[in-house]
Amino acid sequence: MPLREGEAIVLRTYRLGEADKIVSLFTRPFGRLRAAAAGAQRARTRYGGTLEPLSYIRVWFYERENRDLVRINSTELVESFFDMQKDYRMQVAAQYVAEVAERFFPERQANDRAFRLLLGVLRAMKRSGELGAPLLYFDYWLLRLEGFLPDLTRCAACGRVLDDGGYYGPASEGLCCADCRTPTTPRAVAASALELAESARGVTPEQWLGTSKPAAVCAAARRFLEDLIEAHAEKKLITRELLDAGV
Ligand SMILES: [Zn+2]
């Protein structure tokens, strides 16, 4: 069986028996994969500390016939995001990014823009020590890349410009204005939050972090985008509750 190789971000690891681990990876050339890492639970493992959640690694692995799990042969650390996760808030934020990636990126579908988004957001968190602004950037681009981002500037029903903010509900595809709102669109999002979210368009994570964002507006924008993400995930996101619990 051929040995394959590529860059990857470790999304999560699970114990497998006494000594092994299952690793959920988002690889650059092959998309999301689940891999078995033999002996990874042992104190002295050939993987060293590379299989920590959110590590950016290079991985060599074998495909196995008729099996979902690939088998990791070796790994090499490219960049660690371990230290920043000693801060519990950062750890939860990183786990949120990993949970959303697992939910949205299908297995075995390469997506280079999604890979760059994950890496860019992790680096932004690590460099700035902030999580509100990086997560807002992540939420906005995740929805855009997946084709779920509604028009943030105009009412989906009448086309009016959303100068006074918009309204939405758990099942709504887009935003509507005050005149078009119905009992199915009970939640409001302020114009300032929509404008801030929209400003993530056309900038890199570095450029995005270069300007300060009012924390309350950032939080309002995230609440709206994360409602959309959760609606499309069709399941409650475990880490979102932790993030909301004052993290
Ligand atoms: Zn309207």
Query: From ligand 1's centre to the CA of 116, what distance in Å?
Result: 36
User: Which one of 56, 79, 102 terminates a domain?
Assistant: 79
Tell me, yes or no, whether 96 lies in a domain. Answer: yes
Query: From ligand 1's centre to the CA of 225, what distance in Å?
Result: 20
Query: From ligand 1's centre to the CA of 167, what distance in Å?
Result: 10
Decide the pairing of beta strands 31-37 and 20-27. Answer: antiparallel
Query: From ligand 1's centre to the CA of 159, what distance in Å?
Result: 6
What letter would DSSP give residue 84? Answer: G
Burial class (CB in 10 A: 0-12, 13-18, 19+), 65: exposed
Q: What is the 3-state secondary structure (H, E, C) of 96-164?
A: HHHHHHHHHCCECCCCHHHHHHHHHHHHHHHHHCCCHHHHHHHHHHHHHHCCCCCCCCECCCCCCECCC
Spans of the chain, pLDDT less than 70: 246-247
The reply to whether 9 and 95 lie within a common domain is no
The reply to whether 207 and 237 lie within a common domain is yes
Angle of CA points 234, 238, 243, to nearest 5°? 120
Q: Contact at 8 Å (CB) between 13 and 21?
A: yes
The reply to whether 48 and 95 lie within a common domain is no
What letter would DSSP give residue 26? Answer: E
Cα–Cα distance for residue pair 139/79, rounded to 1 Å: 23
Q: Contact at 8 Å (CB) between 85 and 99?
A: no
Query: From ligand 1's centre to the CA of 214, what distance in Å?
Result: 28
Nearest partner of 5 among 33, 39, 24, 40, judged by Cα = 33
The reply to whether 64 and 98 lie within a common domain is no
pLDDT score recorded for residue 246: 60
Q: Which residue has the tokens 């190789």?
A: 5
The reply to whether 209 and 111 lie within a common domain is yes
pLDDT score recorded for residue 153: 96
Query: From ligand 1's centre to the CA of 184, what distance in Å?
Result: 14
CATH number where 66 lies: 2.40.50.140
Cα–Cα distance for residue pair 104/146, rounded to 1 Å: 8
The reply to whether 67 and 99 lie within a common domain is no
pLDDT score recorded for residue 191: 97
Which residues does residue 223 pair with via DSSP β-bridges, in sequence order? none
The reply to whether 134 and 231 lie within a common domain is yes
User: Which one of 36, 59, 79 terminates a domain?
Assistant: 79
The reply to whether 234 and 123 lie within a common domain is yes
Tell me, yes or no, whether 209 lies in a domain. Answer: yes
**Position 137: which residue type?**
Y
Q: Print the domain residue range for 72.
A: 3-79
Query: From ligand 1's centre to the CA of 128, what distance in Å?
Result: 39
Q: Contact at 8 Å (CB) between 24 and 95?
A: no
The reply to whether 137 and 193 lie within a common domain is yes
For the four alpha carbons of 104, 48, 82 and 60, in that order, the dihedral sign comes to: negative
